[in-house]
């Protein structure tokens, strides 16, 4: 039972971290058409495959990261960008002792820029509708306060059905959202236990 809880926890955290990142990056790159991301299944399969291979090889986690928004902002929207960055990382490995002298004061501005680029999609939230704005706000503040994309998304998934019911719009919520809200309540309860 304990192993099942650990596996389920990793599954939820990894899936929603990746899904949240992919949605944000796809929105920034302009890939979302009719509220759908083309080839999202392939993107998720590629991400999970790299996670599996990386863990077998003993590397740090590999996959989609929000830092990719910096590359998207300067025009990188294809796999060629990834190839160029990979080659530069291989070349950078030879200079890693010198790169160790770079302090957080140098990298912090880059992370601030990434945050600004990711925050641009907040303009699409219907802030005038409380039942939509409250879950979006909880996601937005939940991620930095919990240090976890998955926990922030969990707060939004729990709050959304509740606010929709409070606004007498509960019938508009898909049954899957209610199920996910229950799963996330259990998930957060297990994490706190």
Q: What residue ranges do the domains of the chain occupy? A: 1-123, 125-193
Identify which of 154, 166, 156, 157 has the alpha carbon closest to the alpha carbon of residue 191. Answer: 154
pLDDT of residue 133 exceeding 90, the answer is yes
**What does the pLDDT look like over 33-87, one tens digit per residue?**
888 888 888 888 888 888 888 888 888 777 777 667 777 877 887 778 878 888 9
> In sequence order, what are the residues at sequence separation of 6 or more whose Cβ sits closer than 8 angstroms to the Cβ of residue 67?
111, 114
Residues forming a β-bridge with 36: 33
**What does the pLDDT look like over 144-172, one tens digit per residue?**
898 887 788 889 989 999 999 999 999 99
The arithmetic mean of pLDDT across residues 82-104, rounded, is 80
pTM of structure: 0.59
Handedness of CA 96, 98, 104, 106 (dihedral sign): negative
Collapsing DSSP to helix, strand or coil, 193 comes out as coil
Identify which of 63, 69, 65 has the alpha carbon closest to the alpha carbon of residue 31. Answer: 69
The arithmetic mean of pLDDT across residues 163-182, rounded, is 91
Distance of CA 116 to the CA centre of its chain: 15
């Amino acid at each position: 039972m304990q192993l099942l809880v650990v596996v389920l926890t990793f599954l939820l955290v990894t899936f929603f971290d990746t899904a949240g990142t992919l949605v944000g990056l796809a929105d920034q790159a302009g890939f979302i058409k009719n509220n759908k991301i083309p080839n999202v299944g392939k993107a998720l399969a590629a991400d999970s495959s790299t996670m599996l291979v990386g863990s077998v090889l003993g590397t740090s986690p590999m996959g989609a990261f929000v830092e990719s928004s910096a590359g998207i902002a300067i025009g990188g929207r294809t796999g060629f960008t990834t190839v160029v960055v990979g080659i530069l990382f291989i070349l950078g490995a030879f200079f890693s002792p010198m790169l160790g002298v770079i302090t957080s004061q140098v990298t912090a501005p880059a992370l601030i820029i990434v945050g600004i680029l990711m925050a641009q999609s907040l303009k699409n939230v219907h802030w005038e509708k409380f039942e939509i704005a409250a879950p979006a706000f909880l996601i937005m503040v939940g991620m930095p306060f919990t240090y976890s994309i998955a926990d922030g998304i969990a707060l939004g998934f729990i709050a959304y059905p509740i606010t929709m019911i409070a606004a007498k719009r509960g019938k508009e919520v898909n049954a899957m959202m209610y199920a996910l809200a229950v799963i996330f309540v259990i998930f957060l309860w297990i994490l706190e236990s």
